[in-house]
């Protein structure tokens, strides 16, 4: 490693991270990096609880914009209030190892390197969460190298990658300013770091994964991994990335068929519902000329009523298990005798029949749920095609 030690600004954008931020700040203050060469800035995007927790930590500057700027907006604000030569973005649920910072910024001594990302482990310190990242084309679904694998040295070599996660990334200030920082249209979160890396790659920079910069990361501590809100923002901004960087001709030739296949294969109810919400918000954007990030509907929509098939699924699920009815009587002795008689006389005969009926009921319930998922997937596919048609008819769609 080189002795390159620039002045560094560590930018931490917090939103509902009161439970994790103190551990992050404690770890940051224990970094093996000269204190006079680092500044720590916390941007409070939430209710003020994180700002209150951050102020007692020495050397921490707290910015409170008074509203949620999103991850990109919070990063841009933090960088604007810093004077350092290198910008380091870290999540408020990250616990970097002492050598993390010096190893993360060292590759930036090479002017060809635009962004450097770290090796992230899950809190158990055994499993890999991020060793660089790539997109599944043509869908732009993000994947991390080594995700959930046991760390056994298989990703200990630095390499060029398509993008690195915004949970822990470093770049020179001049590079940040050259590309205009993060695009705040990716509100509130997800894919803004992919967009940044794509833009820098287009300018000839290398995106570097540095395995010696190691940190523990909880992953999606604010929104919850695979929650409806997570899926909505993830897919809405996945589409934003594609619509920003790909032409309508490319989308028609490469993306649309793959997207429809993904909709049919998306078995999780939460993801199907969020895809419907994402398609609906973009369709509105193309029809009304209003960006989805500016629309009042920023949370997953609640359906006003159940469909007939959904109601049937609930009824079948509620009746999938049948059990013998216990004999009741006001006379306890009579009740016990009758229950004993029923068991002796009929239980051995009825038990297999009841089990067969329960197995049949379970199969019917699974079939009903599969049909309901298929129906909603079909709805999503129709809405996806309608959204893309609206995009083709929207002369200003390239501005989204």
Q: Which pLDDT tens digit goes with each residue over 110-149?
A: 999 999 999 999 999 999 999 999 999 899 999 999 999 9
Range in 59-68, 334-343, 361-370 with the lowest mean pLDDT:
334-343
Extended strands (E) in the chain? 8-14, 38-44, 60-63, 86-90, 94-96, 113-121, 128-130, 133-136, 141-144, 159-160, 168-172, 206-217
Residue found under tokens 């009825």 = 350
- The predicted model scores a pTM of 0.84
Inform me whether the pLDDT recorded for 174 exceeds 60: yes
Domains in the chain, please, with CATH? 8-217 (3.90.550.10), 223-400 (no CATH)
Mean pLDDT confidence for 157-179? 97
Among 14-28, 101-115, 206-220, 258-272, the range scoring the smallest mean pLDDT is 258-272
48, 84 in Cβ contact below 8 A? no
What is the mean pLDDT of the segment spanning 234-247? 96
- Residue 231 phi, psi (nearest 5): -60, -40
CB atoms within 10 A of CB 150: 10
pLDDT band for position 297 (50/70/90)?
very low
Cα separation, 349 vs 387, whole angstroms: 58
Alpha carbon distance 200, 321 (integer Å)? 58
């Amino acid at each position: 490693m080189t002795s390159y030690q620039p002045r560094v600004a560590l930018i931490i954008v917090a939103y509902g991270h009161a439970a994790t931020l103190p551990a992050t700040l404690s770890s940051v203050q224990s970094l093996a990096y000269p204190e006079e060469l680092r500044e720590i800035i916390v941007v409070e995007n939430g209710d003020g609880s994180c700002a209150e927790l951050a102020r007692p930590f020495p050397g921490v500057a707290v910015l409170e914009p008074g509203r949620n700027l999103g991850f990109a907006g919070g990063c841009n604000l933090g960088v604007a209030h810093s004077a350092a030569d290198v910008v380091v973005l870290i999540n408020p649920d990250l616990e970097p190892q002492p050598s993390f910072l010096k190893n993360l910024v060292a590759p930036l001594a090479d002017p060809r390197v635009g962004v450097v990302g770290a090796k992230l482990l899950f809190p158990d310190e055994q499993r890999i969460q991020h060793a660089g990242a790539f997109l599944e084309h043509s869908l732009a679904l993000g994947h991390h190298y080594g995700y959930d694998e046991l760390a056994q040295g298989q990703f200990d070599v630095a390499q060029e990658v398509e993008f690195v996660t915004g949970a822990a990334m470093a770049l020179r200030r001049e590079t940040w300013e050259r590309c205009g920082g993060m695009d705040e249209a990716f509100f509130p979160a997800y894919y803004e770091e992919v967009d940044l890396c794509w833009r820098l790659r287009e300018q000839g920079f290398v995106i570097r994964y540095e395995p010696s910069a190691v940190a523990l990361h909880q992953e999606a501590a604010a929104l919850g991994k695979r929650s409806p809100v997570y899926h909505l923002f993830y897919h809405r901004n996945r589409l934003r990335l594609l619509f920003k960087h790909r032409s309508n001709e490319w989308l028609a030739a490469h993306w649309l068929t793959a997207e429809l296949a993904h909709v049919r294969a998306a078995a999780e109810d939460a993801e199907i519902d969020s895809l419907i919400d994402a398609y609906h918000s973009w369709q509105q954007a193309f029809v009304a000329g209003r960006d989805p990030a500016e629309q009042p509907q920023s949370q997953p929509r609640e359906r006003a009523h159940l469909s007939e098939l959904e109601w049937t699924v609930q009824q079948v699920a509620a009746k999938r298990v049948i059990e013998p009815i216990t004999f009741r009587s006001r006379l306890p002795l009579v009740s016990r005798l009758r229950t004993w008689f029923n068991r002796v006389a009929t239980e051995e005969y009825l038990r297999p029949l009841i089990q067969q009926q329960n197995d049949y009921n379970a199969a019917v319930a699974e079939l009903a749920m599969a049909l309901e998922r298929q129906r909603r997937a079909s709805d999503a596919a129709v809405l996806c095609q309608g959204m893309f048609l609206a995009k083709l008819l929207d002369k200003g769609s390239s501005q989204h």
